[in-house]
Every structure is written in C-alpha cells, then in structure tokens.
Amino acid sequence: MPFLRIRTENVARADRLIRFRDEQGREQTVPLVRLHLAITIGRDSARVSADEGKPRTAMLDTGAPLTVFPKHHWQGSARQIDRLPLVGGGTPTGRAGGRRFSYFLGRVWVGAADPFGRRLPSVPVLAQFREDDPAPGEPLPPILLGLWGGILEGRTLTRWTTAERYDSDLPTLESFGQWWRLSDP
Amino acid sequence: MPEQLHPIPAEAAPSGNSNGGVLPGRDIREIVERSPEEAGAAVATNEMAWQAALRAKATGDSEVARRLRNAGVIGTGPMDGSQRDPMFARDDVLMCSPEEMAIIAEFNWAYEQQARGAFDAYRGQCVAIVNKTVLAGGIDLARITAEAAAKASVEPHRVAIFDVDPGEF
C-alpha cells in the first residue's frame, strides 16, 4: 500500500502573522498552515525528459474543485498535456485566490512525493491549465491540487491529531498539531 | 467504532521490543520453549492484533493503534508512516529515484529557509537551488534554471525550482 506524508507548512511572513489574545489573556499566534507535496509530471513507465519530470512543489487545496497548473509550471511540459475540448466551445475562465483567469482543460499524468522521498505512482489528472500571466508585481500562483479528477481519486486522505511538535526524523517539519497522509488502497 | 482487542497476557507479551513490530522470532522461540500453550495463545492473539493493525493502518484508525500500543503488541512510535511508525514496512512504500531524492532534499532545505524568512526577498517568485544554495530567482523558470545550471556547472534537471509562498492570507 504505497503512501506518503503530506508536509504541513507555515508559509506566513513573520510580519503578517495573526496574533490575538485568547480568553485567558494569553497571546496566541495563528500559523498560515498549508499542505505541500512534491509532484512529478509524466507517466512513471515512460519518463519524460529529466528536466520536465523533476519534482516541483504543489499545494494540496481541498477547497479547490479542480487541479490548477499556472502557466509558468506547465509551459515547459506542454507536450505531456492532452487538451480536452469543452462542449460548447469558447474560452473558459476560472478563479483562484480572488483572481479570474483564462484556461484550457486538459489531462496530464502526475506523481507525488513526500519530504522523506516516498512517492505515489503517477495517475491521470484532469486540470485547468492557466493561460494568464500575473500582472507585474503580483505573486506567481502555485500549483493547486484540487478535489475532483486529481491525485486524490481512489486514494485515502487522512488527518490525525498529534502531540508531536516536530517530526523527529525531519526536525524542521513542524506538525501544527496535525499530520496528514495520502495512501493508495 | 473502534475494533475490540484483547491484550496479550503479560507473561506472553514480547519483551524489549522497542523498535515496534510484532513478536520478533527470538522472542516467540523463547516463549515456545518455556510454554507451548502460552506461545499458541500469544501467536493467536498477536495474529488478531496484527490483522487489526493492518486494517487500522488502511483506515487511519488511531483508536485501534492506541489499543494495540496499550496491549504491548506494537511499539510507541507515531502512526505517521515514518520509520518510527510501528507499522512501517519497507515493502509498502515506493521510493523516489536518486535524482528525484536530490531535488526533494533541496526542497526540504528550502522550506526551512522560507520558514526562517531567508527567502522573503523572493516572496511570490521562484528560486533556483543547487546544493542548498540559491543561484537565481525570478518569475522566468527557464531563465533561472539555465542561470543556476550554468553557475553550478550542472545539468538543468539537477536545479530545484522552489515556489516561494507570498506568505499572506
């Protein structure tokens, strides 16, 4: 049963953390926790070029209906994507992070890996491939791994509470009170 | 509903099994020599527990895991899939290639740097990393990959591209 751990990462800038006083008057800090994975593009059995197929960072977003690849991440792997025509034609638009974007729909094989070097086999993923460029000064959008038609299909996503603050095998990996695992059946 | 388990009798429970796992061969042989009946009961109980453990692992049932620990069947490591996980089995996992592992190691370092604020100047951009060194940064992946590869005299596939989070809600 192949499985991997999902990285819990506090990505907040120190000056953007939310601090508040709880009911007992103690100062508390809200971490900006996100779930990160490394992904690879291309089938396991027919490895793409080493540069195309090398791991890249992605965010698991259970609030995203579909997987979204920003342009800067799919451009170099365009030949791995099977474009799928939309019924009715036209240029579809989506929205992520409060920003509307144009995209094409396609399917691409995606594998996943964790901070310990474990991986899950690649699976076909239906995704939105963004065609917009970020406005000058705007941050580059991340790869979002969404709920439907993606790497979660047929797999089990588990979250459990932990008292461990750090992973003792990877002491820089902080739990924020929760560990996550993605596994094949 | 958590599975009901019966703890192994104290005299039949494995001793010194600090690494987790189920009844190492040496322990069960000692029990067999001392008392075949006890050994049979231990194996039977243990088999039930082991099957329960496998099911718990498949379903992420931490309550069963706690019961197994309390019964002395498995060690005290976390159920996190790491090598400290008492249910860890090397055959269960697929591992990345050495080339992929090298990139993963760069990512692990990069996440640490990001948490320390070392990448704040690159928030919302990408950085190109080789041997735990940022060699280029920006929004043009092809450019920063080529720049880092040239600086480090490595092939482009050895350059890790890390997305630095904007760090805002």
Q: Are residues B38 and B82 in the same domain?
A: yes
Q: What is the pLDDT of residue A15?
A: 77
Closest-CA residue of A relative to B126 is A140
Residue B41 C-alpha, separation from nearest chain A C-alpha, in angstroms? 29
pLDDT of B25: 40
CB-CB contact of A41 with A108 (8 Å): yes
Q: A54–B101: do the CB atoms touch at under 8 Å?
A: no
Q: Where do the structural domains in chain A lie, given as residue ranges? A: 3-183
Q: Does B165 touch chain A (CB under 8 A)?
A: yes
Mean pLDDT score of chain B: 69
Tokens of B167: 């760090």
Q: What is the pTM of this model?
A: 0.75
pLDDT in tens, A94-142: 988 778 999 999 999 999 999 988 889 999 999 999 999 988 889 999 9
Report the first-to-last Cα separation within chain B, whole angstroms. Answer: 38
Are residues B105 and B158 located together in one domain of the fold? yes
pLDDT tens track for A51-93: 788 999 999 999 999 999 999 999 989 999 999 999 987 788 9
Chain B hits for A160, CB-CB cut-off 8 Å, are 60, 62, 79
| Residue A152 DSSP SS3 | coil
- Of B92, B115, B140, the last residue of a domain is B92
pLDDT tens, B106-118?
Answer: 999 999 999 888 9
Judge whether A119 and A2 are in contact, CB under 8 Å. yes
Closest approach of A173 to chain B, Cα-based (Å)? 8
pLDDT value at position B81?
A: 55
- Average pLDDT, rounded, for chain A: 89
Q: Which residue has the higher pLDDT, B2 or A23?
A: A23
pLDDT surpasses 60 at A6: yes
Please report whether residue B122 resides in a domain. yes
User: Would you call A156 and B60 a contact, using CB atoms and an 8 Å cutoff?
Assistant: yes
| Mean pLDDT, rounded, for B52-57 | 53
pLDDT of residue B23: 41
B156 in contact with chain A, both atoms CB, cutoff 8 A: yes
B131-148 confidence digits (pLDDT tens): 999 999 999 999 999 999
Provide the pLDDT for residue A185. Answer: 81
Return the residue of A nearest to B144 by Cα. Answer: A72
B95, B167, B168 member nearest A118 (Cβ): B95
Could you give the number of structural domains in chain B? 2
Model confidence over B2-26: pLDDT tens digits? 333 333 333 333 333 333 333 434 4
- In this predicted structure, the answer to whether residue A11 has a pLDDT above a threshold of 60 is yes
Domain contains B16 = no
Q: Quick check: B39 pLDDT over 70?
A: no
Q: Is residue B17 part of a domain?
A: no
Clarify whether residues B79 and B134 are in a common domain.
no
Q: Which domain holds residue B68?
A: 25-92
Name the residue with higher pLDDT: A173 or A58. A58
Distance CA B50, CA A185 (A): 18
Q: Give the ipTM.
A: 0.93
Look at residues B33, B63, B92 and tell me which one is the last residue of a structural domain. B92
Name the residue facing A72 among B80, B141, B166 (closest C-beta).
B141
User: Which residues 42-71 in chain A show a CB within 8 A of chain B?
Assistant: 49-51, 53-57
Whether B157 and B102 share a structural domain: yes
Distance between CA B4 and CA B20 in Å, rounded? 21
Percent of chain A with pLDDT over 70: 96
The architecture (CATH level 2) of A3-183 comes to Beta Barrel (2.40)
Rounded distance, CA A179 to CA A181, Å? 7
User: Quick check: B11 contacting A, CB < 8 Å?
Assistant: no
Partner-chain contact B104 A185, CB within 8 Å: no
